[in-house]
Chains A and B, each alone.
Chain A
Amino acid sequence: MKRHVGMALVYAALAVTAAVTLAPLVWMVSASLMPTGQASSFPPPFLPRQVTFEHYASLFTRLNLARYLFNSALLAVAVTLISLLVNSMAGYAFAKYRFRGRDPLFKLLITSMVIPAQVTMLPLFLMLNKMGFINSYIGVIIPGMASIFGIFLIRQFAMSIPDSLIEAARIDGASDFRIYRSLILPLCKPVLITLAIFTFMGTWNDFLWPLIVMTDDSMYTLPVALATLSLEHVQDTELMMAGSVMTVLPVLLLFVALQKYYIGGIMASGLKE
């Protein structure tokens, strides 16, 4: 009997926590469907009294949302593909090749993970400015091309691949690149998926660097555009909620679809210590 009561309490606590956690997100969707002005009435309605999609329409007709969506998607996909290639090659090399200075080099990389990205931003801005990459896609892609965290994640995974497999492929006459492409990459698929989700979401959600690099309205990513718009349209609650939904929804759906890999990746990163 006591067990059942305890159980019910845990369920109740979980339900309340989940409801409170989801409330702002549900309200965001709900407010985005309200006619203009309804969210700013008292008492604040949680659900729309009548549903309208006019704010989504005006995001596209008045506010150039398609362009921001395109910018965000293009950058997230480009950074994900490039960094996956670059990091997987390096992670594999650190795991399976023996060369002079490998371990000190890897240690140096790991240690430098403590340096916050903000330190590099001023000189990086000047460098890209000299190269003419400010206000261009390349300017956002460049610092995302390789990541120490990504190399680390793939190295840890690739180390578990038995050497004998690689030796066997080599005896069969496979080239180094062939081994990487046809043996290592397929074996690393789970960690590659994990890293791809991390990178895609990280790039999609990133704010400070695109805010610095993209100076022209037409180059804004969704978060930069949303931040700028929300400071201009402080009163347009419903419109801004629609913009927030459009920004959050793609990553939320991606997460729900692939959460096994995402959550597994976080658990693995925590246990490494």
Chain B
Amino acid sequence: MFFLTPALAAIGVFFFVPVIAAFVMSFTDFDIYSLGKIQYARFIGLRNYLQLVEDPLFWKALRNTLYFLVVGGPLSIAVSLAAALMLQAKLVRFTSFFRTALFAPVVTTLVAVSVVWRFVYHPRYGLLNYALSFVGVSPVDWLGDPQWAMPAIILMAVWKNFGYNMIIFIAGLQNIPPQLYEAAAIDGAGRWQQFTMITIPMLAPTTLFISIITMIGYFQLFAEPYVMTQGGPLNSTLSIVLLMYQQGFRWWNMGYSAALAFVLFVFILVASVLQSRLQKRFGT
């Protein structure tokens, strides 16, 4: 018991208690006045949640977050798989160099690379527009145009994250018995057939695992818009966590912010349960 006490005490007091407290808080009007004197907070039942449903900003943030998730998630998984396949092709040399290079963005500090990408996306002096000018694309105001701001954030997130899932895919690929490919080759299956009939099905459990962790991570979009766009332009990159941060720690509407946090939690929970159901169904 001696060994467990520190960990359980820390997790209990600084994780489970706050989770329950946040739940209670989401039914109160906890605000800047309650910050000084907790007695000022009153129970207001479901009013925060009702207010949420009527708040156009919440729907905007939810739509943006889902946009980021639904486009960015699969895109980053596809890039990860492609990179893993390239690295697993029977190369003679440089595999470890390429692996390190492709993985490097994962370990970088999100805030720092967001600062870097803000300049890469600069409409006049940015590298991206300059590179695109060679193929005849006229300059895009990536972060200043409500249409392009979210795609720009997605592109950066894919760049930053794909290396992580690439490594997990490599582990999955290494687990496929080579005999399967040999047998298929003897039966006359081509490269593409081997890919669709062996690689894809054998990677299903890995892909599912990756989908879950990617989705949970992408729901929590925050630092990229905070640094690159502050949620703009016209709230086109406002995410749920950014809205939660603004409501809670800038305007001190902590009751309302707690309700937002729980909505985020419910979304993550539902999506995780759905995906683990899928996992069971496919018997992995």
Q: Which residues of A contact B (CB under 8 A)?
A: 7, 10-11, 13-14, 17-18, 21-25, 27-28, 31, 39-44, 46, 85-87, 89-90, 92-94, 97, 99, 109, 112, 114-116, 118-127, 129, 142-143, 145-146, 148, 151, 176-177, 180, 201, 204-205, 207-208, 212, 222-224, 226-227, 230-231, 237, 240-241, 243-244, 247-248, 251-252, 254-256, 259, 262-263, 266-267, 269-271, 273
Contact = CB atoms under 8 A, between A and B. Distances in A.
Contact of B22 (A23, A119, A237, A270): A119
Given A119-B265, A207-B111, A222-B109, A90 B7 contact: yes
A124 B113 contact: no
Given A17-B83, A129-B35, A226-B111, 7 more contacts: A7-B89, A25-B105, A27-B120, A42-B124, A44-B130, A89-B3, A123-B18
A270 B172 contact: yes
Contacts, number: 268
B175 A271 contact: yes
B91 A10 contact: yes
B108 interface: yes
Contacts of B114: 227
Contacts of B91: 7, 10-11, 14
B108 A252 contact: yes
B176 interface: no
Interface centre among B35, B100, B115, B248 (most CB of A within 10 A): B115
Contacts of B208: 273
Nearest to B119: A237
Which one of B10, B170, B220, B269 has the greatest number of beta carbons of chain A within 10 Å? B10
B180 to A, nearest CB: 18
Interface stretch (B53-61, B64-72, B256-264): B256-264
Given A122-B22, A255-B107, A24 B100 contact: no
7 contacts: A14-B87, A14-B98, A18-B97, A24-B120, A27-B116, A223-B110, A226-B111
A118 B264 contact: yes
B167 A267 contact: yes
Contact of A256 (B87, B100, B171, B268): B100
Contacts of B4: 89-90, 93-94
A40 B268 CA distance: 42
A82 to B, nearest CB: 9
A251 B107 contact: yes
B22 to A, nearest CB: 5
B117 to A, nearest CB: 6
B215 to A, nearest CB: 11
Contact of B206 (A230, A262, A270): A270
B127 A27 contact: yes
A122 B25 contact: yes
A126 B14 CA distance: 11
A259 B93 CA distance: 18
Interface string B186-228: 0000000000000000000110111000001001101100110
B125 A40 contact: yes
Query: Of A123, A208, A230, A254, which is in contact with the most chain B CB atoms at under 10 Å from its CB?
Result: A123
A265 to B, nearest CB: 10
A207 B208 CA distance: 28
B16 A226 contact: no
A118 B220 contact: yes
B283 interface: no
A25 B125 contact: no
B7 A18 contact: no
Contacts of A24: 105, 113, 116-117, 120, 127, 159
